[in-house]
A and B are shown apart, each in its own frame.
Chain A
Amino acid sequence: MANNTNLPRRIIKETQRLLSEPAPGISASPSEDNMRYFNVMILGPTQSPYEGGVFKLELFLPEEYPMAAPKVRFLTKIYHPNIDKLGRICLDILKDKWSPALQIRTVLLSIQALLSAPNPDDPLSENIAKHWKTNEAEAVETAKEWTRLYASGA
C-alpha cells in the first residue's frame, strides 16, 4: 500500500472511471495491495470464435506510465494467432505505437477488438497463424474448442 500513496492522479482517475463506467464486456479492477496491478476480464466478442468465453488478463502499469505502455498478458489460455502460449499479446499500441493519450480502457477495448479480428499476417504464434492461413475453418474450430475448454467457467 505504501506504493499507492504517491499514485499519479491520472491512474487514480482512470481507475475510478473504469469502476464507475465500465466498458461493455470488460471489467478491470486494481489489486488490493498494488494499485498498479489490475485484474482484467474480457468477454469474448459475439460472432467470434471466442464468444461465450471469459478471458482473464493481468495488466500492470509501469512506473513510467502513461509515458510507457501498460504491460498486459492473457492469463487464460487462448487460441489466437496474435497471442502466444504465455498469453503475450502482439498489439502495436502496446509497443511502438503507444501514446500517452491511450488509457487502460482503450487498451482493453483494442484487445477485445483483436479477438474479433485476428491478424495472422502479423503473428506472434507462428503455428497458429499458419493454421489460420491454411485452414481458417479448422483454426476457428480449434479456437472455439479452446474457449470451451479454458474460458467457459469463471
Chain B
Amino acid sequence: MGNNLAEELLSTVRSVVGPEVPDMDIIRALHMAKNDPTAAINIILDTPPSVPTPKPKPQTPNPKLKPVKELGQEKLITAERKNRSREVDASCRESNVGQDAAVSGPDGNEWWFVGTGEVPALSTCKGRRVKAGDEVTIKFPSKSKSLSSPAKAKGFGKGRQVVAACSEIVRFSAGDGGEIGRIPTEWARCLLPLVRDEKVRITGCCKCDYDRLALMDTVLLSIRVYINSAMFRKRHKTSLKEAISSSEETVVHPLPNLFRLLALTPFKKAEFTPADLNTKKRPLNSKDGSGFPASLLHANLCKNLKKNGDEVETEETISDADLDKIIGVGSSSELEEMDAPRTLQCELRPYQKQALHWMIQLERGNCMDDAATTLHPCWESYHLADERGLVVYLNVFSGDATIEFPSTLQMARGGILADAMGLGKTIMTIALLLTNSERGGSRLQTGSHCSSEGTECDISNQLSSPLNKGSKYSGFDMFKKKKMLVSGCNLIICPMTLLSQWKAEIETHSQPGSLSVYVHYGQSRAKDANVLAQNDVVITTYGVLQSEFSDENAEENRGLFSVHWSRVVLDEAHTIKSLKSQSSTAAAALVADRRWCLTGTPIQNKLEDIYSLLRFLKVEPWESWAWWNKLVQKPFEEGDERGLKLVQSILRPIMLRRTKSSTDREGRPILVLPPADSRVIYCELSEAERDFYDALFKKSKVKFDKFVEQGRILHNYASILELLLRLRQCCDHPFLVMSRGDTQEYSDLSKLAKRFVKDEGEAKDMPPRAFVQEVMEELQKGEQSECPICLEACEDAVLTPCAHRLCRECLLGSWRPATSGLCPVCRKSITRQDLITAPSDSRFQVDIEKNWVESSKVTVLLKELENLRSSGSKSILFSQWTAFLDLLQIPLSRNNISFLRLDGTLNQQQRERIIKQFSEDDSIQVLLMSLKAGGVGINLTAASNAFVMDPWWNPAVEEQAVMRIHRIGQTKPVRIMRFIVKGTVEERMEAVQARKQRMISGALTDEEVRTARIEELKMLFT
C-alpha cells in the first residue's frame, strides 16, 4: 500500500464507492479484480457490505424500497440503446406507438412493441438526482467479455464467480452523469440472452423523481420492450439435423420469463404447463408408492452392489411384472371394440378390436373436428401491446415463440402399442392400415398431388396434398422442408429379419389389391421419393433408415426423409432405445402425421429406453431431454417416486399394454394360450470337462488378476470379454474353445481366388494363375492338403499370399519371431497379417467327427430329446454360437434325430424355406437356431419345446426368442428349458445377466458405473 500506484487506485475506487466502504474491502476487491478499478468497484457494489449500509436519505421516501439480494448469475451481453426521455404514462405511449412500430432494423426487420414493464432497479450511486421521465441508457456487459466466459455461470468457483458476475450486470445511466444503478437480476437474466441475439430491444426511463439517490435505493424504471420480427423467421432456419441434435440443456427460457415480468397475460393459457408438473400432477404420496418396483429403482442406482454372487439375486432387467407396474396395465378391458374393415381377411379377437379402436382414437386426437383450430396445450397466446394487434404464441416448455398458430394437429398422434409378445401386434397394425386407408377414400389418387383443401381438418385423409400439409405444419420444423417433401402413406420400419414377414402378413391378411406394398431394402432400392410415396405401405429396416439419414451427399434424394408420411410405424421399437444411436435420431427426424411404436418391451433395462420412444412420438414436452431429465430421470434415479408417477401419467394416455394374462370385461383372459413351463436344467461337468474348465479358468483368472492389479480392467474390456467368452463356450463343449477364428471372411472361395488374382497384376512375385486355380479347386473340393512341414493333413490351415497351404502352427513355429518370416515353400517374405485362414468345412482345430465326445450338456440334451421323440413334439435349440450348432449336428445325426438349421448365414428366402419346412414336415424334430438370427418376429409355433443351450447376458433377448413358440397359434403346452452348468461362469452369469447388459451399453463416464462394472467382472471370476 505504500506504493503510489496502490494509493492511486484506492482513491479512484473510493471516489466512486464513497467513504463508507472500509479500506480493506477496497483493497480486497482490487486484488480480486487484478487492480482493475472498474472491476473492483463492481465487486464492491455487488457484494453485500461488510458494514451496515448507510440509511437511505430521507429525501427519497420510497415506499417500495426493499433490500436487493440478487448477486448476478446472469448471461452476458452487450447492447446499448438510447432511449426516449419521456414519462411513461398512457398518453405518452399512445403518441409514440406509431413511431415505435416504425422502428426498423437495417436488415428490414420490424420491431414490434411488446409491452411496458416496471423495473425496480437498484441505485449504485450517491446523491444523484433524477426526475420522472428522465431517459436512461441501459448498458449491457461488453461482448468481448461475454465470449470468454460460458453462458452459464454455474460451474464457477467462488472467487471467479464474483468477477464473472460483474460482467453480467446490466447497468443504466442517465444523461451524462454516468451510471445510476443496475437492473435486478431477474430482469437482467431474461433480457441478456434476448438482447444479445437481437431478439429484443428495450428502452427505459425513470418513473419517479428522486432527489438524492443513496446506494441500494430502489429506482423505479419504466421500460418498453420490442421484439424483433426476424426472430420468428430465424427460428426455423435451423437445419433438420441441427434441430434434432441440439438437445436443450436448460428448462428455463428467457422469453416466457420476460413475458411474465412484463405482466403480459396470455389471452389463451396453456392447458399444460411446467407448473402442473411441479405441483398438482406430482403428489408425493407415500401410499401410492406401494406398488413401486424396487428392483427397477435399484437397477438404475447400481450403488448397492453386493460382491457376493449369491446375494445378487435381484433380477435387474425389467421383468414383465415390473414393466406392468411402471406403465400400468390398467383399464384396457374397458376399451371399446371396433370392427376391422372388410378388407382385413382374418377375424380379430375382441382385445385386438379394442386396440384398433384405441389406435383410431389416438390418431384422430381428442377433438378431431376442430383439431386445426384448437390451440396446442403446451402453447400460450399473447396479444402484443403493438397497435397492429399482433399475436405471439409461446411454448411454455421449450420457450419457442411463433406467430403462426400452433394447433393440436402438431401434437403427437399415435402412441405405443406395447402388448406383450404373441398378442398379434402385427395384425392389429395391419387392421389399422386398412381402416384408415378406407377412410381416406379413393386410394387411386394416393401420392398424386390432388388438392384436398376442403378436407384440411380430416386428419385421416391420406391424400392431403403437400401444400395442404405444409400449411398445417408451417412454422415448425417443416418450415423449410415443406416444399420438397412428397406426400406418402405408411412407412413401416422393422428389423431385417422381419421384412418379409411383414410383407407376407400384409399380403395374406389384406384383401388383394387393398394395399400396395413396397419393400425398401437393398442396394437397388428406389432412390426416388415418388416411388416411395406411390405405395400404400413401404417397409424398410432400421439399417436403411440409418444409412439414408447419415447419407450427407444425397441432399436431393434423401429417400425416406424426402417423404411426408401419413403414418410411421416402428416395429420392435425398442431398437431405437439408445437415444444417441443413429437409428434413434433418424427415426425422430422422419416427418409424419401419425407415429406408432410397436414393442413388447418398451423398457428393456433402463427408464431412458422410454425417452427415445417419446422423442420419436413427439410427445411434448417430453421430447425435450431437459424436461425429461429434470422431472423424470433425475427424480427416478434419486429414488423420488414422483419420477415414476410422472412416467405413468405420460404413458397412460398413449400406451396400450396387455399381457397374456390380461383379462376382458368378464374377467376372462383375453388370450388363452397353452401353459408354458419354464425351468432351468442344471448340469454337472464330467471329471475330464471339469479339469479342462478349471485349467482354462485358472489361466483366464491369472490374466484377469493381472488386469486388476494394473487397475486396467476397463482398458482391457475386450480381452476380458474374450476370456469370458471362452469360459462360456467351454460350458457348452470344450471343442468350442478350440474353434477357429477368422475363417468366415474368406468362406466364399471366389472372393478368396479374387484376392490372389487381383494382386497378380501388381506384384511380379505372385503365384502363377494356374497354380492358384489348382489350389482353389482343391479347396473347393474340400481336398485335404499335406502341410509341407509336419507332412500331415493341414490342421487349421492357413494360406500364404503365395497360395501355399500350411498348418498355422507349423508355419508360425518356423518363424523367429513368429510375427513374420519367409514362406517355407517359396521363401517369399510374409507377415502374420498376410495369412488367410483357409476355408474348410470345419471351423475346429480338431477333427470333430473323428474325435467326437459328448459334453455333459449335450448328454443331458440328448436325453431330453429322446424323451420327446415319442411325443412327436418339435423342439428348437437356441445357442449364441453357431459353432455349437455345428457340434450339435453330430450327435443329432448319430442319434437319428432329424433337424434343420437357421442361422445368420441364411438369406431371407432360405430362412423362409427352412421355417416352412420345419413347420410342415412332421419328420423333422429339431430346429437348430442361433439366438440372434431367431430373436424377433419369427413364428415358430410348430415347436412346443425350446432349449436355451447357453445363458445370454440379456435375458430379454432369451425371452424374446422363446416367445417365438409361445404365441397365438400354439396349441400344445410349451416347455422351455434353460441349461446352466453348475459351478461355472454360467451360474455366475445368471446373477449378473441384466447388470452386465447395462454395463456393455452404458457409457464409461460415471465413476459409479465404473466401479460397478469392475465388481461385476470380479464376480464372474470368483
Is B814 a contact of A67 with CB atoms below 8 Å? yes
A10 with B813, Cβ < 8 A, contacts A99-B825, A99-B827, A100-B824 known: no
Interface residue? B810 (CB, 8 A): yes
Are A101 and B792 also in contact (CB < 8 A) when A67-B813, A67-B814 are?
A: no
Of A13, A67, A97, A99, the contact of B791 (CB 8 Å cutoff): A13
Output the least CB separation between A107 and chain B (Å).
14
- Residue B814 contacts which of A13, A14, A97, A100 (CB distance < 8 angstroms)? A100
Do B790 and A99 touch (CB < 8 A)?
A: no
B769-828: which have CB < 8 Å to A?
Answer: 788-792, 810, 813-814, 822, 824-825, 827
Known contacts A67-B813, A67-B814, A99-B827; A9 and B822 CB within 8 A of each other: no
Contact flags B680-697 to A (C-beta < 8 A → 1, else 0):
000000000000000000
Collect the chain B residues with CB atoms within 8 Å of residue A67's CB: 813-814
Residue-wise, chain A 18-45 has the 8 Å CB interface mask toward B (1 for contact) of 0000000000000000000000000000
Is there contact, CB below 8 Å, between B822 and A99?
Answer: yes
In the complex the two chains form, is B824's CB within 8 Å of A101's CB? Answer: yes
User: In the complex, are the beta carbons of B791 and A14 less than 8 A apart?
Assistant: yes
* Contact partners of A103 in chain B: CB under 8 A: 791
Residues of B within 8 A of A97 (CB): 827
Separation of A101 and B789 alpha carbons in the complex (Å): 5
Q: Which residues of A contact B792 (CB under 8 A)?
A: 9, 13
A101–B788 CA distance with the chains assembled, in angstroms: 5
B contact residues around A99 at 8 Å (CB) = 814, 822, 824-825, 827
Does A120 sit within 8 A of B, measured CB to CB? no
B791 cross-chain contacts in A, Cβ below 8 A: 9-10, 13-14, 103
Q: Residue of B at shortest CB range from A66?
A: B789
Report the Cα distance A101→B792, complex, angstroms.
Answer: 12
CB distance from B803 to the nearest CB of A (A): 14
Interface residues of A in 79-135 (CB under 8 A from B): 97, 99-101, 103
- The tally of residues in B whose CB lies under 8 Å from a CB in A reads 12
A100 to B827, CA, bound (A): 11
Rounded to whole angstroms, the CA-CA distance of A97 and B825 in the bound complex is 11
Give the residue among A9, A66, A99, A101 with the most B Cβ atoms within 10 A: A101
Closest beta carbon of chain B to A64's beta carbon, Å? 11
The distance in angstroms between the C-alpha atoms of A67 and B813, with both chains bound, is 8
Chain A residues, CB < 8 A from B788: 100-101
Contacts of B822 in A (CB 8 A): 99
- With a 10 A CB-CB cut-off, give which of A13, A67, A97, A103 has the most chain B CB atoms: A67
Considering only CB atoms, which chain A residue lies closest to B786 in the complex? A13
By a CB distance below 8 angstroms, the chain B residues around A13 are 791-792
Per the 8 Å Cβ criterion, residues 818-845 of B in contact with A are: 822, 824-825, 827
List residues of chain A with CB within 8 A of the CB of B824.
99-101
Minimum CB–CB distance for A101 against chain B, Å:
4
Contacts of A10 in B (CB 8 A): 789-791
Chain B nearest CB, measured from A2 CB (Å): 23
Contact at B825–A101, with CB atoms within 8 Å?
yes
Chain B residues in 8 Å Cβ range of A66: 789
| B804, closest chain A residue (CB) | A101
**CB neighbours of A101 from chain B (8 A):** 788-789, 824-825
B38 shortest CB reach to chain A, Å: 83
Q: In the complex, what residues of A have CB within 8 A of residue B813's CB?
A: 67
B731 CB to closest chain A CB (Å) equals: 33
CB-based nearest A residue for B813 = A67
- Residues of A within 8 Å of B814, CB to CB, are 67, 99-100
Residue with the greatest number of chain A CB neighbours at <10 A, chosen from B790, B791, B810, B814: B791
B270 to chain A minimum Cβ distance, whole angstroms, is 83
CA distance A66 to B791 in the complex (A): 11
Contact with B along A59-76 (1 / 0, CB 8 A): 000000011000000000
Contact of A9 with B790 in the complex, beta carbons under 8 Å: yes
Provide the residues of chain A in CB contact with B810, threshold 8 Å: 100
In the complex, A13 Cα to B790 Cα: how many Å?
Answer: 9
CB distance from A122 to the nearest CB of B (A): 18
In the complex, residue of chain B having the shortest beta-carbon distance to the beta carbon of A14: B791
Residues of A within 8 A of B827 (CB): 97, 99
Please indicate the chain A residues that have their CB under 8 angstroms from the CB of B789 in the complex. 10, 66, 100-101
**What residues of B have a CB within 8 angstroms of the CB of A100 in the complex?**
788-789, 810, 814, 824
**What is the bound-complex CA distance between A43 and B825, given in angstroms?**
27
How far is B992's CA from A152's CA once the two chains are assembled, in angstroms?
A: 82
Closest B-chain residue to A99, C-beta based? B824
The 8 closest A-B pairs by CB, nearest first: A101-B824, A101-B788, A99-B824, A100-B814, A100-B789, A13-B791, A101-B825, A100-B824
A-B contact pairs, 14 of them (CB 8 A): A9-B790, A9-B791, A10-B789, A10-B791, A13-B791, A13-B792, A67-B813, A99-B822, A99-B825, A100-B810, A100-B824, A101-B789, A101-B824, A101-B825
Beyond contacts A14-B791, A66-B789, A100-B788: 8 other A-B pairs, Cβ-Cβ < 8 A, are: A9-B790, A10-B790, A10-B791, A67-B814, A99-B824, A101-B788, A101-B789, A103-B791
Chain B interface residues toward A at CB < 8 A: 788-792, 810, 813-814, 822, 824-825, 827
